[in-house]
Amino acid sequence: MINQLKKKKEKISVIGMGYVGLPLAVAFAEKGINVVGFDINQSKIDEYIAGHDSTEEVGDERLQKVKNILFTSNPEDLKQAKFHIVAVPTPVLKNKMPDLRPVEGASRIVGQNLTKGAIVVYESTVYPGVTEEICIPILERESGMKCGVDFKIGYSPERINPGDKLHRVETIVKVTSGMDEESAEIIAQVYEQVIQAGVHRATSIKVAEAAKVIENSQRDINIAFVNELAIIFNKLGINTNDVLVAAGTKWNFLPFKPGLVGGHCIGVDPYYLTHKAQSIGYNPEIILAGRRLNDNMGIYVANQVIKLMIKKGHKIEGSKVLVLGITFKENCPDIRNSRVIDVIEELQEFGCNIDIYDPWADTKEVEHEYNLKLIKELNIAKYEAIVLAVAHNEFKQLKLKTKDNVVFDIKSILDETDGRL
């Protein structure tokens, strides 16, 4: 298959043209491989055809230079490809249960347009067993073909870090797997065409699926630990950041910082693992404890802000509060599963009037996702309290402190504050 791809006799398709799929599609195209970039969102496809990358993961200039990607919302175009990569989101429902509808929907679309001899690789984060137990039956039903005979499958978890210009798809080691030795080797070789950091061949699909969910679960637990430390040290009147700097002088102390835990991975993946664990009769205590603590940090921050406002004599009902940042992380336009919303909603419960300013976030997207409007200009003097929620570079030089206001710095990047995590 590698030679066929290189000679442009076969194509790769990437299903899901978001923060994961677009950089991957562009990377393959830049290696001279013909790519079908599919997404059900026609406006997104139109945007890419026009040469604009709103994710800022690839950039307009690089996107405009690539000529061998067919951006499409027509499922039948997938029939042109023999190697399919599914890179759709896998969120959680309001009850924190895995929401597999996007990956199931993608599987139906791929299955309906599958040709004999094709390989389907899933990159979406799932719990161990989803690829073989849920996706294969859908592919077989929709295609009328038999997995292992007419087509094969594999799993290779995405490791994209949105907004990170250092750790890109090409520079991160890729874990790959296949249903048998032949498919595993073909999948690894295909990814080796674009992955400079190398490929790790996992021993099975379930191993690769499990590796992905524990990567982010481990990080989630570590952040929960320092978040709990921040709560304790706040009660003791100790600066958490100073403690972490001092402890960090030991060679094996892990450098995690307190904060809100959101985004499409860290705040979601642990629930996939705990769901699977509970389905087999085991209740995972540490993972769920970490999730509970991190999920409540927005409420904790809002309550700290209110306490500081009361101490300064501010009337809470009707007070004006500015929140700086609504993306889930700094210097990135991604607002998916941003936990800044928890701070905003809790402050609104107290009767505060909230303004939100974020130069990175898309106004229409924020309004659609959270029913909130962004302000376009800053006037620091009009607010009783300011919450710095995201460490965008644009915020680091702002002078926010006045004689009477309250400034709470979630990210610990400001010199003058009334409170911080």
Q: Give the torsion through C-alpha atoms of 325, 369, 256, 202, to 10 deg.
A: -140
The pLDDT, as a whole number, for residue 160 is: 83
297-311 and 205-236 helices, crossing angle to 10°: 20
8 Å CB contact between 13 and 36: yes
Which secondary-structure segment (H or E) carries 69? strand 69-72
The pLDDT, as a whole number, for residue 284 is: 96
The pLDDT, as a whole number, for residue 166 is: 80
Q: Is 152 helix (H, G, I), strand (E, B) or coil?
A: strand
Please state the φ and ψ torsions of residue 153, each to the nearest 5 degrees. Answer: -130, 165
Mean pLDDT by groups of 10 residues along the chain of 421 residues? 78 95 95 96 95 91 94 97 96 93 97 97 96 98 97 95 82 97 96 96 98 95 97 95 96 95 88 96 97 97 97 96 96 92 97 97 94 94 96 92 94 92 90
Query: Could you tell me the CA-to-CA distances from 419 to 221, 255, 324, 365, 393 in Å, in that order?
Result: 24, 21, 15, 30, 20
CATH fold match for the domains 2-203 and 237-420: yes
Q: Which CATH architecture has domain 2-203?
A: 3-Layer(aba) Sandwich (3.40)
- Residue 118 has what DSSP assignment? E
8 Å CB contact between 371 and 390: no
Q: Is 357 helix (H, G, I), strand (E, B) or coil?
A: strand
The pLDDT, as a whole number, for residue 8 is: 80
Token readout for 62 is 């690089």
The pLDDT, as a whole number, for residue 164 is: 77
Q: Which residues pair with 154 in a beta bridge?
A: 121, 178
Amino acid identity for residue 204 in this structure: S
8 Å CB contact between 419 and 239: no
- Residue 18 has what DSSP assignment? S
Query: Could you tell me the CA-to-CA distances from 222 to 36, 181, 263 in Å, in that order?
Result: 39, 36, 16
Q: What is the rounded CA–CA span in Å between residue 35 and residue 67?
A: 10
Whole-prediction pTM value? 0.92
Token readout for 153 is 């499958």
Catalytic residues: 265
Q: What is the rounded CA–CA span in Å between residue 257 and residue 52?
A: 34
Q: Which CATH architecture has domain 237-420?
A: 3-Layer(aba) Sandwich (3.40)
8 Å CB contact between 312 and 242: no
Q: What is the rounded CA–CA span in Å between residue 226 and residue 234?
A: 12
- Residue 171 has what DSSP assignment? G
Domain boundaries in the chain? Answer: 2-203, 237-420
Q: Cβ atoms within 10 A of the Cβ of 140, count?
A: 18
Residue with tokens 């985004």: 263
Q: Which residues pair with 119 in a beta bridge?
A: 83, 152
Instruction: Give the β-pairing of 11-15 and 81-86.
Output: parallel
